[in-house]
Structure formats: C-alpha cells, structure tokens
Homo-oligomer: A and B are copies of this chain.
Amino acid sequence: MPPHRRAALSPRLASADPGHGVTLADVALAAKVSLATASRVFSHPQLVREATAQRVHDAARRLSFRPNLLGAKLRAQQTRIIGVMLPTLDNAVFAECWRGIEEASLAAGYSLMLVTSNYDPARERERVEYLLRHRVDGLLLTVANAADSIVLDQLDRESVPYVLAYNQITAEGAGNHRYSVSVDNRVSACEGVNALIAAGHRRIAVVSGAFMASDRARQRFAGYEDAMRAHGLPVLDAVNLPSHTASNTAQIRALVAQDDAPTAFFCTNDLLAIGVISDLKRLGLRVPQDVSVLGYDGIALGALVEPPLATVAQPNADIGTQAIAQLLARLAGAPSPQGHATLLPHALRIDGTVRPPP
C-alpha cells in the first residue's frame, strides 16, 4: 500500500515544497520500477540496466527527490557520521584543526557532528553520550586528560572506535592501546626551550593554562624541564593562568619585578603568548628587546602580528586530516588491537619575539 498513498500527495508537494516528502517510493512509481530497483540505482548502480537507471534518475529529478539519509542509516546500522569533540573553538588551534577534519570527512562521505567540552570532564561525558545516542560511527576527540579520562574508559568499554587529536598517548601507563595524532609535545617543547637557551637565555619562565585542564600543557612543561635540566639551569614553577585568554598582568608583573627576573617566557600556547606579550608591554617592557617570548601552537595569527610570534608550530589542519584518516581506517577495516600514537612533525619558528637577552 505505501507507494500509492504518497503518490496521491505528490502533485501538491511537487509544486509547493519540492523535494520535501518525496520518497524513493514516489520515484519508483513515477519511473515504473519497483522500490528495490529505484534503491539500487542510487546504492548499487552496476546492478541495474542503464536504461532503467536513466528512467529513475529522470523521475528523481522531476520530483526533486532528495534521499532521506535517516532511513538508510537506520537500515544500514551505520550513520556515516563522525562525532567530533573539541575543547573550544575560541582557540584558533582547534578552529584550524576543524578545517582538516571537515575536508577529510566530507571527502570520504562522512558527516560531522561537533560539540565542545570547554576543557570540562563532566561536560565531556555529557556531550559524548549525546553523540553516542546519535549513533555516530566513531569519534574524534581532544580530552582534558587522556591518561585519566572517564569518558575514554567508557568508550573503551563500549568498544566505540575513536581517535584522539592533540592528546598524545605515551607508551607507559594505561591507555597505550589507544590511537592518537599529535606532535611530540615534550620533545618539541624541549627543542623550543633549547632554542631559547641557545639564544643565551638562562632564566626562563613558563606560563601555562591550568595544568588540570590540559595534559598537553603538562607534557610541554616536562619538555621545558628536560631542556633546563640538560643545561643545568633552574626550573622555575609554572605560572598557571586560569583562562587561556585572560590577561593576567598582575602575575606577570610579580615575575618581572624579581631581582632575578626571567629574560624569556615560554608559553604553552600561542594565545597565552599573545596575552603575555601585551602584559609585558603594559609593564613597559619591549618584546623582544627586553624580554623574549616563545609560544606554542603555530596558529596563523602568530604570523600576522608584528613582530611575528616565535612558536613551536603544530600542523593543525593536518592533525585533523590524519586523525580522520586513522578513524576511517579503523572504521573500515582491521581494528589493530594495540593502538598507536602518530606523531606529526613540529616546526620551530624562532621569529620576531625571540632574541638574545639584553
């Protein structure tokens, strides 16, 4: 009975609301083929004779048929939707990453559902549950702390395929069955600080977002420690700013007011670095003449400001692209059980804001 009921409605729909409400059954009827054949024309064209296919296509066009993906998804038991959870889009790092994610996904015929967690583990749980209810086929996510994440544990328990972006799986400890795409945070940070040291800096301070909110920040601090220790230089406590974007002149002032004020600042992300540079300027210090600043991330904006921001650059769009590629590979085929941390190359840009100490 289905085909006829709808067919009766078609005339109205075709004029007032083309494409909306027109089902494959309508198309089949108009093309004088069965529903099955009509379906095959779109999903398995090689199974149907050329002339028949043409008739169906014509009918589809005439009726402005638009396939309802919901029906297909429900039937197929796979949605071809990837859930993406990022901390925030306010940091350009993730916005840049999105470009790669969208590009790679749509090219592969996958759709995206985006949510942001704002670095909050509770919200992470909630948002992921939400994506799961939509039956996303897999997830691409950046969590606050990969090594201690309720949400990742849950995903593992449920064997939901996912790939981490930016979070870096480390060999030791739990979770090394996981997949991640990132740079080597510790090594790259160490190289960045080494560059500062090579420029002659001895007292180097670290400014970071809340360590609790980001394992990357902790790994980068570890890289700083490595570099300082290797050169027998004093490891200073990190200045942890609550927000990655707040201007915290007071804390910076306290630092530079010391007898033995740092001559260089390593900031664990570029946004922070830009804020710190402004703070320093407000305190009457010139960057890089009086004090050097090194960021981390390589956001496009850094190259836009003057002097250009020295930074440890990550390939942000690539991280997105690669993470999607990995996820698709897992979705498609052999879900190799032992996980893998993909490390993408970083690049040092020791540009305008770093210079030898005065």
Contact between A17 and B112, CB atoms less than 8 A apart: no
Interface size on A, residues (CB 8 A): 56
Residue of B nearest to A16 (CB): B159
Whether B92 and A96, one on each chain, are in contact in the complex, defined by CB atoms closer than 8 angstroms, is no
CB neighbours (8 Å) of A102 from chain B are 114-116
**Chain B nearest CB, measured from A356 CB (Å):** 22
> What residue of chain B has the Cβ atom nearest to residue A308's Cβ?
B278
> A66 and B278: CB pair below 8 A?
no
Residues in chain A within 8 A of chain B (CB atoms): 16-20, 66-71, 73-74, 79, 88-90, 92, 95-96, 98-99, 102, 106, 111-116, 129-130, 132-135, 157-160, 245, 247, 271, 274-275, 277-279, 281-282, 300-301, 303-306
Chain B residues within an 8 Å CB radius of A135 = 68-70
In Å, the complex CA distance between A99 and B274 comes to 22
How many Å lie between the Cα of A135 and that of B20 in the bound state? Answer: 9
Residues of B within 8 A of A74 (CB): 68, 70-71, 74
A281 to B305, CA, bound (A): 10
Q: Are A130 and B157 in contact (CB under 8 A)?
A: no
Q: Are A282 and B300 in contact (CB under 8 A)?
A: no
- If A69-B134, A89-B89, A89-B96 are given as contacts, then 19 extra A-B residue pairs at C-beta distance below 8 Å, sorted by A number, are A19-B132, A20-B159, A69-B135, A70-B73, A70-B135, A88-B99, A89-B99, A90-B96, A102-B114, A102-B116, A106-B115, A113-B114, A245-B300, A247-B304, A274-B304, A274-B305, A278-B305, A281-B306, A282-B306
B-chain residues with CB within 8 Å of residue A69 when the two chains form the complex? 133-135
Q: In the assembly, what is the distance between CA of A20 and CA of B111, in Å?
A: 21
Interchain CB contact (< 8 A) of A301 among B116, B159, B160, B301: B301
Could you tell me the distance between the alpha carbons of A134 and B70 in the complex, rounded to whole angstroms? Answer: 7
A304 CB to closest chain B CB (Å) equals 5
Inside 8 A of A17's CB, which chain B residues have their CB? 158-159
Distance (Å) between the CB of A340 and the closest chain B CB? 22
B301 close to A274 (CB less than 8 A): yes
A106 to B123, CA, bound (A): 12
Please measure, in the bound complex, the distance between the C-alpha atom of A95 and the C-alpha atom of B86, giving whole angstroms: 12
CA distance A132 to B70 in the complex (A): 11
Verify A300–B95 contact, CB threshold 8 A.
Answer: no
- A305 CA to B282 CA, complexed, in Å: 10
A113: contacting residue among B20, B96, B113, CB under 8 A:
B113
Q: List 14 A-B contacts (CB under 8 A).
A: A18-B157, A18-B158, A19-B132, A68-B135, A70-B73, A90-B96, A92-B92, A92-B95, A106-B115, A111-B130, A111-B134, A112-B113, A112-B115, A274-B305
**Shortest Cβ distance from A245 into chain B, in angstroms?**
6
Minimum CB–CB distance for A338 against chain B, Å:
19
**Interface pairs A-B: 6 shortest CB-CB:** A278-B306, A89-B95, A281-B306, A70-B74, A114-B114, A69-B133
